[in-house]
Structure 1
Amino acid sequence: MVELLAPAGSPEQVRVAVEAGADAVYLGGKAFNARSFAHNFSRDEIQQAVHWAHLFGVRIYVTVNIIVADTELAAVEEYIKFLDQVGADGIIVQDLAVAAIARKIAPALPLHGSTQMTVSDSYGVQQLANAGFSQVVLARELTLQEIKRICRKAPIAVEVFVHGASCMSYSGQCLMSSFIGGRSGNRGACAQPCRLPYQLVRGTQAVLPQPAYILSLKDLNALAEIKELAAAGVSSFKIEGRMKDSRYVQAAVTAYRQALTACRSSSAIAADLLQQAHCKVHEGFHRAEQADFLRGRVGRQTVTEKPGHNQGERIGTVSKVRGKDLFIQATAAVQAGDCVGIMQGGNFSFLTTVRACIPLKQQGRYKLQVGKEGAIPGSLYRMQSKKEPCTARRTRTIPIYMYLETGKNGQLVLRVWDENGHVVTAASTYIPVAATTCPTDRDRVIKQMRRLGDTPFSLAAVTMWDERYMIPVSVLNQLRRQGIQALQKEIIHSYRRPASRHGDCSVAETYERKLPVEQGGTLPALYVRCDTPETAAAAVQAGADTIIFGGERYGVTPWTRAEWEQVTAMTTARQIPLWAAMPRVLREKDKPQLQREWEMIVQFPVQGVYIGALGEFAWVKETAPTMPLRADWSLNIFNTTAARVYAGWRCQSVTVSPECTIKQIRCMIQQGAPPLEVLVQGRIEMMITEFSPVEAFGMKSQREGSGPRYIKDRKQQQFPLVTDPYGRTHILNTRELSMLPYIDLLKDCGIAAIRIDARGESPRRVQELCRQYKRALEGTTSAVAKEDIRVTRGHFFHGIG
């Protein structure tokens, strides 16, 4: 089954999407969804949307795709019960706590993995399948070849974004909005800092003539790739856009329905359909577009560099202007009512509405009469097609059939059915009698039965047992109304799943079982993540209790056997546990490199591995099933239940999300979470992306100067850029996280360990940090100034939106 999945930010857009040809629609409620600034749906609106869509055989998926706090889990549980009861066809999930609740209280409610889960390989799909998911959307960064390999192995449905806005960072791995402005993308409140201008800096030298929108990706448009995606085995084609208007939804869904139809058509018809689709998709919102990730050609052309507003569709050239008349050479059809703009020097200098389009003698030449003067020659763009009310026009109907007959007792009976096997009957108390004059013939019956009003049905055929009887029009109308109401109820009822047992789930138990925090217990351990043998040695000498090595280092050089030998020899000699880190992102294209590194890891005496991506659980299970595991912070563990899920996946401990407050951490421990680790020192990674500003803008060239590379924002804050051995760019926070003055607060929570992320630091700096934190843990440090504008306290004291 191939599914076209449409967005809906309002009830009207559900109808628009259904009428345009969507197979499924995804929408969000008033809470727990990743588009908190959209209109979103009340509970009544969700129920109405589900019932309306089901009449047309269209599925409704509801987003519950944010990370949730312990204090919200009871409300999430109640919300999932509601969604199950109203017949939602699935929920889209980021937080494994939400998945755990749903599996317990609504086991028949399908689970879909959100893009926020950062699933980018076949192991990730397999892991979610093992967890009870039935569908998962892949990361937008994947190539066609990777998607094909994943689909070939996938035990569940694979969903792929094909159209709309895209994030610069891997979804679910962006903390930039959170740490800059306190609005978290993981909580549905992203402020979109990637849509702002930045300057590129190398050393102290600006690279660009002026700040540009270098983190603003062009919109995805995969119309040309639909056939290849379908052949690859993609099950669901997803359109982004719950924040867009109804015109956008209508245009995008119509275009991609045409493209999917083209996949099943002859070459001549397919070419025509695709051309129509390309024209149609630009009738809505139109920005600069790309499909570069799918094609594996990400570069400077992938970003806008300019404000990401509506860029329009080029439709010709204005060669001459005379007052309010524009003389143009057109490359596409123009009509009165179109909103057009003239571009010069990369900017729109003139915007107006076409009042009349008059063809001239020369082919393709027109005179446009517009509403104002002041135009100058230049490239002509259509910003929006002729404005027409974008309502759900009744074009998609359900054909039904009727048979009028008499029952056992002679009363009139109407049987109604559709093409999907739904059959109902409506009976009248009226007993027809033979007519002496003017019998009710079939034409009269058809006339009355066609009056279906504001229903989704269209009458395909009517038959009747005899045309010699007289039947009052009022009786026919009553039978029609009864039959239609009964058919609607039957169709909606057919979507009902077996009733779930809404008893207490494992989450509910945590509210009742308050585990006291033990006072005066063992001090938290000091863990240090290093990316060179020299910094690892410095950490060991300064008293680190565990070294974390491997994974994504800040440098393009892959890990070597000599480095691993050096670190393992040193930690073994000092009897310091050594744990290996794994990448935050696991892709099909990375597996040969990761396999080489993995073969080194398993040959050395490491204590276990830190899991950074969901797929790595399945990877380790397949290659080293007894290897001890720990969950890293990139898994966005934000509540006790999620922590317990990972403990159930053999994790000895979990590192909480950097977006957690001290209050939340204390609550998790009181609720009986597994051992918790907390990141307390280091530059938090704001983004991880496949786009490299360094390569895209030629910053490797010596003529740009030497020194570290940064992006600089409007407030002159500089964010370091580093590249890892997998070629991915990490954008680091402008200020270093430091909780050194507040270690006592974390100690009092009962955490198992604190962590310093020392990647990119010098051995001397690492040694100094380790000694400071060791003394702070032991209570022997001198007072440290608590206010320091050079560092950040992260979200430990201020929660996220």
Structure 2
Amino acid sequence: MRNGIKREDIELLAPAGNWDCLKAAVANGANAIFFGVEKFNARARAENFQMAELPEIMAYLHMYGVKGFLTFNILVFENELEDARELIDACIHAGVDAVIVQDLGLVKMIREISPDFPIHGSTQMTITSPEAVEFTKPFDMERVVLGRENSLKEIKKIGEKAKLPMEVFVHGALCVSYSGQCLTSEMWGGRSANRGECAQACRLPYDLMVDGVQKEMGNIAYVLSPKDLAAIDLVPELIEAGVTSFKIEGRLKTPEYVANVVSKYNAAIERYFAGQDTGPTEVEVRELQQSFSRGFTHGFLTGTNNKQLVDGSFPKSRGVFLGTVKKLLPTGVLVDITSPVKRGDGIVFDAGDPTQKEEGGRIYDILSRSKKVEGEVSKGMYEIVMGRNDVNLKRLHVGDRVWKTSDPELDRRLRKTFETEKPYRTFPLSVHVSGKLGEKLSVTWVDKQANHAVSVPSEVLLETALKRPLTAELLHDQLSRLGGTIFHLEAHDLTVDLEGDLIVPVSELNRMRRDAVEQLVFLRSKPPIYHHHDINVYADAPKSQPVEKPLLTALCRSLEQLEAAAQTDVDFLYADFEFVKQYPEGVKLAHKYGKKIGIATMRIHMPDENGVLALIAKSKPDAILVRNTGALYYYLSRRDEIDIPLIGDFSLNVANHKAVELFLATGLERVTPSYDLNIQQMVDMLSRSNAANMELVIHQHMPMFHTEHCVYCTFMSEGTDHTNCGTPCETSRISLKDRVGFSHPVRVDTGCRNTVYNAIDQSGAEYLSEFRSLNVGSYRIEFLEEEPERVKEVISLYRKALRGEVSGTHVWRTLKATNQLGVTRGQLTK
């Protein structure tokens, strides 16, 4: 125990994309594993397990005292609820220790199926504040996985206020966007990150455009590609901040990676509880880098440092920095080596432009002054000789950086940890032996770690010993022969209570030992029992109410847009401004024109940001557009003092009727469907919901990335965060130009977070007649950079379409004709 915390209170949680990864995690000290099956998980590209394997997986893990969590961390569409129910049933029957869930509609369904089956709120729930944790409590969730953007100070504050176990990512790839709030893959490639199909648009090169002019960036092109998280040196601070589960990212990684990272973090946790306040060694860090690294960072754990988060010069794993090319030679290169390297290691030559083919391969020889060097070298000038067909030496340059991308010897060592027939770990038994003449020998075996006990009697009666009677030493010798099993027996854990000199055959002792082990393994592998109800997933689907005159609403991002929209016949306005100080003015302006107005909260809610929510309420809007569960809880818990109608926005990720019902039941007046839904999925959900309470966004620039990483601060300032950046966002406008030539605007919110919007506005106008027939209650148009006249034109076109005066197709075609960037029908494509 240390600081009142026991080692068993801390969980090391490892990823597993297949059986080898699972075994590597168990072998190297993981306390729990998270894994996915063939569907419904956020790593659709991983090998994944099959649903039919769940009993075998859980029996295997439980045998070793390891927990197994199934990832169900995607949005579930209406037509998938029945399949989702089937998977939850399978998890309950197999004894899965918890499901990691994103979709609150799924949470509702799980609680209908079982009141006690454990649920973990995934990082895709975007839980970043004590209020967001409080929002989950009515659903009896066992723990929450905090957003990767929370700092140690914030984590501690959340833990102290919310008092729910917290799981935090400590190692692996970082998403530049808030998890659950990235729409880029879905927008550009039809592959939704909320559906486990991330296309990694953040890892692509972009040109930085400042006020329409390209900024010269040298070899910096990957402006949204963060380094990898490595918090191994922060293990003590994380434990003391109240983190109970240390989560390692990597279900797409190799078993060697899993073995490496799990073993290193296990050692760091053990050091803490042994009172050894030493950080990781140079060798440990280097080996972590070798398995996978885009460069290491603490992410946001030690606070925001935009300069350290993104390197910008390469988007993929580099491994270990080896040195710099000093001279080109006829058969190789002279390199100033700074890290250990040997024959057979893989290297790559980095000329500063990863978009071009890079030279690399295996090292054939290492020479010092023209003589071969055997073994490893670590520092100094050495000639690196590559295989003849591996590297085109003519493409290398003096000054190229050299990276060690693979170390076969390290991989072999890591594989040995889990490619073995021996048990990965053994557990202590305590054994009590008792008996007297003419009765059966009784042996009670206690599995101390699992707290299981079995008693195995002899099949023969005890007799008087003529020679070698049963003694503690003889009994320990026979009963401790547990090699090849998951148990061990120490001499001090054996107690003997025998009356007189007695004997049974050795063969009988061996049988009793084997029988006891078999029973104890069975008890370990037995699934836990949860309550379970058979349900009809659509039993709670309400009937739709007729809507005579649906609302047309408009969201504006400037006072000029707001004034233009207020002069139209739009029914309701929203203000989504960068600066809080403009909110009262926006409300006053709308009311001047006799319009009602709602103010949008920020998309993210952090500890200490309640002041912004209070200012929104103080502005006395007619409604609040709520974008996260933290803000929702804040307003719901203050109903006595803040009695303002609440409307749920797209970022609440409503994708099925159960999520609709959950949010309406909390007190929302309307909810906005997730942008992940295509037209058929939208129709499916609307058909099973009271669509009168739904607000559909039918025209907008898709908000693709939403990120704590500030592009303005990183590339237009000498500062590191909002406290010292000089606010370049107030004087310039940035956009990111992609490979196709589109420039995607980057905007800053009140919390200095960036949103990258799609360059092309999109329209769902041609589906208006279908939505009208489903009795949708409200339709929203969202503006980004449009001039006032454009605002009026767009609103007028949609009003005519709603009245049936023009077709929806006419609307988007007209907009296409008047907008040089064109229009895409985006996420509403059939």
Q: TM-score, normalised by structure 2?
A: 0.85
Q: What residue ranges of structure 1 are gaps of 5+ in the alignment?
A: none
- Between the aligned partners of 1:80 and 1:653, the Cα distance in structure 2 is 29
Shift of the 564–323 alpha-carbon distance from structure 1 to 2, 3 Å rule, reads closer
SS at match of 2:829: coil
- Determine the C-alpha separation between the residues in 2 that align with 1:159 and 1:198: 33
What is the alpha-carbon distance in structure 2 between the residues aligned to residue 9 and residue 540 of structure 1? 53
Quick one: which of 337, 351, 368 aligns to 2:361?
351
Q: Which residue of 2 aligns with 1:627?
A: 644
Say whether 1:137 aligns with 2:137.
Answer: no
How many residues were matched structurally?
777
Flag the 1:455–1:40 CA change in 2: closer, same or farther, 3 A: farther
**Structure 2: which amino acid aligns with 1:640?**
H
Partner of 1:496: 528
* Worse-matched range after superposition: 682-691 or 210-219: 210-219
| Unaligned runs of at least 5 residues, structure 2 | 1-8, 367-371, 718-724
Report the residue type matching 2:788 in the other structure.
P
2:665 corresponding residue in structure 1: 648
Change (3 A) 1:423 1:367: farther
Q: Secondary structure at the match of 1:733?
A: strand
Measure the CA separation in 2 of the matches of 1:796 and 1:31.
Answer: 23
Is 1:25 the counterpart of 2:33? The answer is yes
Q: Which residue of 2 aligns with 1:247?
A: 256
**1:197-346 correspondence runs (5 A):** 197-207=205-215, 208-209=217-218, 212-266=221-275, 269-271=276-278, 273=280, 275=282, 277-314=284-321, 334=341, 338-340=345-347
Partner residue of 1:580 out of 590, 599, 612: 599
The question of 1:545 aligning with 2:571 is answered yes
Check the 8 A contact 2:734/2:745 in 1, yes or no.
Answer: yes
Do the aligned residues in 1 keep the contact of 2:444 with 2:453 (CA within 8 Å)? Answer: yes
CA 1:624/1:403 → structure 2, altered by over 3 Å: closer, same or farther?
Answer: closer
Deviations 1:612-650 (A, max 9, x none): 001012111233444322111111111101000001111
Residues 147 and 438 (structure 1 numbering): CA distance in 2 closer, same or farther, change over 3 Å? closer
Query: Hey, what's the Cα distance between the residues in 1 that align with 2:677 and 2:331?
Result: 60
Structure-2 separation of matches of 1:369 and 1:564: 66
Aligned pairs (5 A) from 1:263-662: 263-266=272-275, 269-271=276-278, 273=280, 275=282, 277-314=284-321, 334=341, 338-340=345-347, 349-353=359-363, 372=387, 381-385=403-407, 386=409, 387-388=411-412, 389-392=415-418, 394-406=423-435, 410-420=439-449, 421-434=451-464, 436=466, 449-452=479-482, 454-461=484-491, 471-493=504-526, 496-497=528-529, 499-504=530-535, 507-510=537-540, 515=543, 518=546, 521-550=547-576, 553=577, 555=578, 557-560=579-582, 563-571=585-593, 574=594, 576-595=595-614, 597-601=615-619, 604=620, 606-625=621-640, 626-662=643-679
1:608 Cα offset (Å): 2.3
The superposition leaves residues 58-95 of structure 1 with CA deviations (integer Å, 9 ceiling, x where unpaired) of 22111111111111112211211221222211111100
Is 310-319 or 348-357 further displaced after alignment? 348-357
How far the C-alpha of 1:350 sits from its partner, in A, is: 4.4
Which position in structure 1 is the counterpart of 2:774?
749
Tell me which moved more, 39-48 or 78-87. Answer: 39-48
Q: Which amino acid aligns with 1:736?
A: D
Aligned equivalents of 1:328, 1:443: Cα separation in 2:
63
AA matched with 1:34: A
1:455–1:309 CA distance, 2 compared to 1 (3 A): farther
Instruction: Name the SS for the 1:235 alignment partner.
Output: strand
Matched, 1:766 2:771: no
Give 2:514's aligned amino acid. R
CA deviation digits over 1:747-784, x for unaligned, max 9? Answer: 12210011011243222111111111111111223771
Determine whether 1:63 maps to 2:71: yes
Aligned mates of 1:635, 1:69 — CA distance in 2? 14
Assess if the C-alpha contact under 8 Å between 2:128 and 2:606 holds in 1. Answer: yes
Equivalent of 1:103, from 95, 111, 126? 111
Q: Which amino acid aligns with 1:309?
A: K
Contact 1:359/1:365 (8 A) holds in 2 = no
Are the aligned partners of 1:34 and 1:63 in contact in 2 as well (CA < 8 Å)? yes
Structure 1 288/545 Cα, relative in aligned 2: closer, same or farther at 3 Å? same
Q: Alpha carbons of 1:76 and 1:439: their partners in 2 closer, same or farther (altered >3 Å)?
A: same
CA contact (8 A) 2:435 2:441 kept: yes
Q: Structure 1 residues 673 and 235 mapped into 2: Cα distance closer, same or farther (>3 Å)? A: farther
Q: What is the aligned-residue RMSD (CA, Å)?
A: 3.5
Does residue 791 of structure 1 match 2:823?
A: yes
Give, in angstroms, the shift of residue 55 of structure 1: 2.7
Per-residue Cα deviation, 1:216-255 (whole angstroms, up to 9, x for no partner): 1111111122222222112211110011011111111111
Which residue of 154, 163, 184 maps to 1:146? 154
Summarize the alignment of residues 45-64 of structure 1 with structure 2, pairs less than 5 Å apart.
45-64=53-72
Aligned amino acid, residue 667 of structure 2: R
The one-letter code of the counterpart of 1:492 is S
**Corresponding letter in the other structure for 1:308:** P
The answer (yes or no) to whether the contact 2:225–2:315 under 8 Å persists in 1 is: yes
Structure 2 Cα separation of the partners of residues 104 and 173 of structure 1: 27
After TM superposition, the score normalised by the length of structure 1 is: 0.88
Distance apart, 1:340 and its partner CA: 4.7
**Residue 227 to residue 368, structure 1, CA distance change in 2 (3 Å):** farther
- CA apart distance, 1:474: 4.1
Q: Residues of 2 paired with 1:665 and 1:360: CA distance?
A: 63
The aligned amino acid for 1:233 is G
Residues 554-585 of structure 1: CA distance to partner in whole angstroms, max 9, x if unpaired? x4x433365145325325xx2x3322221111
Q: 2:51 aligns with which of 43, 46, 61?
A: 43
The letter for the 2-side match of 1:117 is M
Pick aligned residue for 1:729 from 728, 749, 754: 754
Aligned partners of 1:352 and 1:370 also within 8 Å: no
AA partner of residue 745 (structure 1): E
Q: Which residue of 1 aligns with 2:689?
A: 672
Shift, 1:599, TM fit: 4.9
Call closer, same or farther: CA 1:317–1:428 in 2, change over 3 Å.
farther
